[in-house]
Amino acid sequence: MKINVCIAGASGWVGKPLCLALSSTNDLNLVGAVSRTNKGTSLKDFFNKESFELNFSESVEEALKVPTDVLIDYTKADVVKANVITAICKGVSVVIGSSGLTDEDFVEINKLAIEHNVGVIAAGNFAITAVLLQRFACEAAKYLSHWEIIDYASDNKKDAPSGTTRELAYRLSEIRKPELTHPISQTIGERDSRGTTLNGIQIHSLRLPSYVISVEAIFGAKDERLTIRHDAGTGAEPYIEGTLLAVRKVKNYVGLIRGLDKIMS
Ligand SMILES: NC(=O)c1ccc[n+]([C@@H]2O[C@H](COP(=O)([O-])OP(=O)(O)OC[C@H]3O[C@@H](n4cnc5c(N)ncnc54)[C@H](OP(=O)(O)O)[C@@H]3O)[C@@H](O)[C@H]2O)c1
């Protein structure tokens, strides 16, 4: 039986190629697509593709009136949480691509998902190379005690740090907290120039034209340094396969799974 899927953010940079990829599979069925600015427009016209048979909905609430197994969210930091809660409360599983959710939000989402007996898979980055960055950085954190993270994104990205960086910080903190030779609170000069502390890790966010999403974990040791860096390109294709994998697997879980590597065999 096919899995019925709704995409919130279907007209976006990731949403568009995701709609196209999903509609060309044999096991997934696109039954809902949300975009406020395109509400009522047929996907057939939007994509110039005859095989699409639905119109854009204005909201997740409206789109989920059609029986749906999984909601994918690629929207924005200020709406993702409400969308996820709406879906969970209707018994719909969720795959979260949007960034901006905090550790506290994830705790709340996990609790709600368990209460409603549904699965949620969230990944700060659904690209395989980002999963590898996480793995390699976690390995380095076992051996090196000092590290900080630099989060790079385009100047129009409103949330900070990026989902990629948040998840990396969360994962590294599960290994251990980095050591600080000089406490941040005792910084002489501008304390904020030492960045923000997330999960016990110093994070520095840059928002500049020409970046897409990059993250750099820098490990420092006496007389040596290791930099592990991931750079996303300008296309959204790297996120598609990972997202579709999550859609296929999310019904196997109850509660929140955080990180693509957790579902990769
Ligand atoms: N996890 C990953 O691997 C990964 C990869 C890339 C991006 N992301 C994240 O995914 C999200 C989407 O990225 P994107 O580059 O595709 O963004 P985008 O091109 O700006 O698309 C955003 C989509 O969300 C909708 N939207 C925007 N504001 C909204 C609002 N207030 N309420 C409801 N819908 C809204 C837009 O349509 P309307 O304005 O018409 O509603 C559009 O369809 C971001 O949070 C980004 O950081 C994650």
pLDDT, averaged in runs of 10, over the chain (265 residues): 97 97 96 97 95 96 98 97 98 97 96 98 96 96 98 97 96 97 97 97 98 97 98 94 97 96 87
Name, in order, each residue with C-beta under 8 angstroms of 48's C-beta and a sequence gap of 6 or more.
none
CA dihedral of 41, 42, 44, 47, whole degrees rounded to 10: 30
Closest ligand 1 atom, residue 130 Cα: 3
pLDDT for res 118? 98
Q: Which domains does the chain have, with CATH numbers?
A: 3-126+235-263 (3.40.50.720), 128-231 (3.30.360.10)
Shortest-distance atom of ligand 1 to CA 239: 3
Instruction: Give CA separation, 220 vs 59, 109, 129, in Å.
Output: 47, 35, 23
Measured CA to CA, the distance from residue 261 to residue 122 in angstroms comes to 11
Beta-bridge partners for 87: none
Supply angle C-alpha 238, 241, 244, rounded to 5: 135
pLDDT of residue 189: 98
243 φ/ψ angles, rounded to the nearest 5 degrees: -65, -45
Ligand 1 contacts (CB < 6 A) are 9-15, 35-38, 74-79, 97-100, 123-126, 163, 239
For ligand 1, atom 14: residue with the closest CA: 13
Residue 265 has what pLDDT? 72
